[in-house]
């Protein structure tokens, strides 16, 4: 498709002569056929086509194709949320009795999914520090390990994953690396180029970018050779009895097996489809992603630098800061910028952080990140308010920590608001 900029604007949907310039919303649950035989060929996956929107819809497919091109993948699908994308990407290759190696610095929802819900389904997880050595990583694998999971930039820890290290360990153990690339987006990092096999997204964040739709996406690189590790991945390499005995890896090859299976099995059975209306709005967000990300990053960088020089701020975490422990990895994997999210500790503890939050004017209080509007969260008094100060510290969140998601406003306006709120803290 050309550059990332052109793909953001024009990827996925290419209208024919006389067709709508803007991506049409195919607001239809079902599709009409002249003969049952024709529909039968679709059900047998012998021909491409649409029959029911839970499985596939032309609007969703066009947007998935754009995200696929942005990530440099071979196939992609949309899901109803980022959580659904994470779950499908894991459950597509893990079943009861299997095991996952995951970075401990991941989104809270992904942690709960792995540590609690998937455990109840018989899939166990071992969590490793994102800063672990190759030896520590190797030691986490078991004979039943089926994948490695991590986040390019972890929400909210802002730890940067050493993608090459995690990919090489995964591959030496014969399993794929799955990377959640929500925070940098493919504008700032393309994990497949560094060895990731499958990439997931919460499109709810920067991709949508306007806090309008919850959504997710899964992209397959097409690089993982399922048949070379056939015994580990029977779901892809053995006949699927629920689908006329199809063998996904043989019929669709490395390029198509993973997404075809996730669509024809998991989407069929779990039904976490994105509505075509939401996919349309997501596509409008994607059209400006390459223009918005640099401004989110400029504001994030400026806020991080301002905060780290401020006497009422105890500490700042932002991978774009030279002193940050993840700065080296950020420079390697995201030389043009990381994201707009900064976390910092207000000096003076929980009460000072609460006063700071009350004094904010431009920055609004939200349980969200990656919106066009700057938003702010004090986990200790909101998402994590049931925890004591001691429990918070154990979870890596201090009572005075604030998560700031820099939007697209003028940089000086954000800094002025932070300055006046810190004055009152």
Ligand X SMILES: *Cc1c(COP(=O)(O)O)cnc(C)c1O
Residues of this chain that interact with ligand X (CB under 6 A) are 81-83, 86, 107, 109-110, 151, 155, 180, 182-183, 202, 204-205, 214, 216
**Is the distance from CB of 404 to CB of 376 less than 8 angstroms?**
yes
Q: Which is nearer to ligand X, 369 or 421 (CB)?
A: 369
355 beta partners: none
DSSP secondary structure string, 194-229? GT-SEEEEETTTTTT-SS----EEEEE-S---TGGG
**Is the distance from CB of 202 to CB of 229 less than 8 angstroms?**
no
- DSSP assignment letter at 409: S
Cα–Cα nearest to 146, from 265, 234, 22: 234
Q: Which is nearer to ligand X, 83 or 221 (CB)?
A: 83
**Distance of closest approach, residue 352 Cβ to ligand X, in angstroms:** 27
Q: Which is nearer to ligand X, 183 or 226 (CB)?
A: 183
Q: Which is nearer to ligand X, 82 or 235 (CB)?
A: 82
The residue with its CB nearest to ligand X is 82
**Distance of closest approach, residue 252 Cβ to ligand X, in angstroms:** 27
**Cα 274 → chain centroid:** 15
**Distance of closest approach, residue 16 Cβ to ligand X, in angstroms:** 33
Q: Which is nearer to ligand X, 94 or 236 (CB)?
A: 94
Give the long-range contacts of residues 371-374, CB within 8 A, separation 24 or more. 371/209, 371/210, 371/211, 371/405, 371/407, 372/209, 372/210, 372/211, 372/292, 372/407, 372/408, 373/211, 373/407, 373/408, 373/409, 374/299, 374/404, 374/405, 374/406, 374/407, 374/409, 374/414, 374/417
Q: Which is nearer to ligand X, 107 or 127 (CB)?
A: 107
Q: Which is nearer to ligand X, 82 or 186 (CB)?
A: 82
Cα–Cα nearest to 270, from 96, 125, 50, 83: 83
**Distance of closest approach, residue 191 Cβ to ligand X, in angstroms:** 13
- Close Cβ partners of 389 (under 8 Å, ≥ 6 residues apart): 350, 380, 399
- What order do you get walking across the sheet with 75-79 strand by strand? 75-79, 216-220, 198-202, 177-180, 145-151, 99-103, 124-128
Q: Which is nearer to ligand X, 11 or 150 (CB)?
A: 150
**Distance of closest approach, residue 43 Cβ to ligand X, in angstroms:** 30
Cα–Cα nearest to 252, from 214, 226, 228, 216: 226
**Distance of closest approach, residue 125 Cβ to ligand X, in angstroms:** 16
Q: Rounded to an integer, what distance in angstroms lies between the CA atom of residue 67 and that of residue 70?
A: 5
**Distance of closest approach, residue 38 Cβ to ligand X, in angstroms:** 36
**Distance of closest approach, residue 15 Cβ to ligand X, in angstroms:** 29
**Distance of closest approach, residue 150 Cβ to ligand X, in angstroms:** 11
Q: Which is nearer to ligand X, 150 or 235 (CB)?
A: 150
């Amino acid at each position: 498709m050309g550059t990332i900029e052109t793909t953001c604007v024009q990827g996925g949907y290419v209208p024919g002569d006389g067709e709508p310039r803007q991506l049409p919303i195919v607001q239809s649950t079902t599709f009409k056929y002249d003969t049952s035989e024709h529909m039968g060929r679709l059900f047998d996956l012998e021909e491409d086509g649409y029959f029911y929107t839970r499985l596939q819809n032309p609007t969703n497919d066009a947007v998935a194709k754009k995200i696929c091109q942005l990530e440099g993948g071979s196939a992609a699908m949309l899901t109803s949320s980022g959580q659904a994308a994470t779950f499908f990407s894991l459950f597509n290759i893990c079943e009861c009795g299997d095991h996952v190696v995951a970075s401990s610095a991941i989104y809270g929802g992904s942690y709960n999914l792995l540590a609690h819900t998937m455990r109840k389904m018989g899939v166990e997880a071992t969590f490793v520090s994102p800063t672990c050595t190759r030896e520590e990583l190797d030691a986490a694998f078991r004979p039943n390990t089926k994948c490695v999971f991590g986040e390019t930039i972890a929400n909210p820890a802002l730890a940067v994953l050493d993608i090459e290290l995690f990919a090489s360990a995964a591959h030496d153990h014969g399993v794929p690396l799955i990377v959640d690339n929500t925070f940098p987006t493919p504008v700032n990092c393309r994990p497949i180029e560094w060895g990731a096999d499958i990439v997931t997204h919460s499109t709810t964040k920067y991709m949508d970018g306007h806090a309008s739709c919850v959504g997710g996406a899964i992209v397959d690189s097409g690089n993982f050779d399922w048949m070379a590790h056939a015994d580990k991945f029977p779901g892809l390499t053995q006949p699927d009895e629920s689908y006329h005995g199809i063998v996904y890896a043989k019929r669709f090859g490395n390029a198509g097996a993973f997404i075809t299976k996730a669509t024809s099995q998991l989407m069929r059975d779990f039904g976490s489809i994105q509505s075509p209306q939401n996919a349309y709005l997501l596509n409008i967000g994607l059209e400006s992603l390459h223009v918005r990300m640099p401004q989110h990053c400029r504001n994030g960088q400026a806020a991080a630098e301002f905060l780290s020089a401020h006497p009422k701020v105890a500490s700042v975490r932002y991978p774009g800061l030279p002193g940050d422990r993840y700065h080296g990895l950020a420079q390697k994997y995201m030389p043009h910028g990381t994201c707009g999210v900064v976390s910092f500790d207000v000096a003076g503890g929980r009460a000072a952080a609460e006063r700071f939050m009350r004094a904010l004017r431009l920055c609004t209080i939200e349980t969200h990140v990656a919106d066009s509007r700057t938003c702010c969260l004090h986990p200790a008094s909101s998402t994590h308010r049931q925890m004591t100060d001691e429990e918070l510290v154990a979870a890596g969140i201090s009572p005075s920590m604030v998560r700031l998601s820099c939007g697209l406003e003028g940089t000086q306006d954000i800094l002025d608001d932070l300055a006046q709120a810190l004055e009152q803290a």
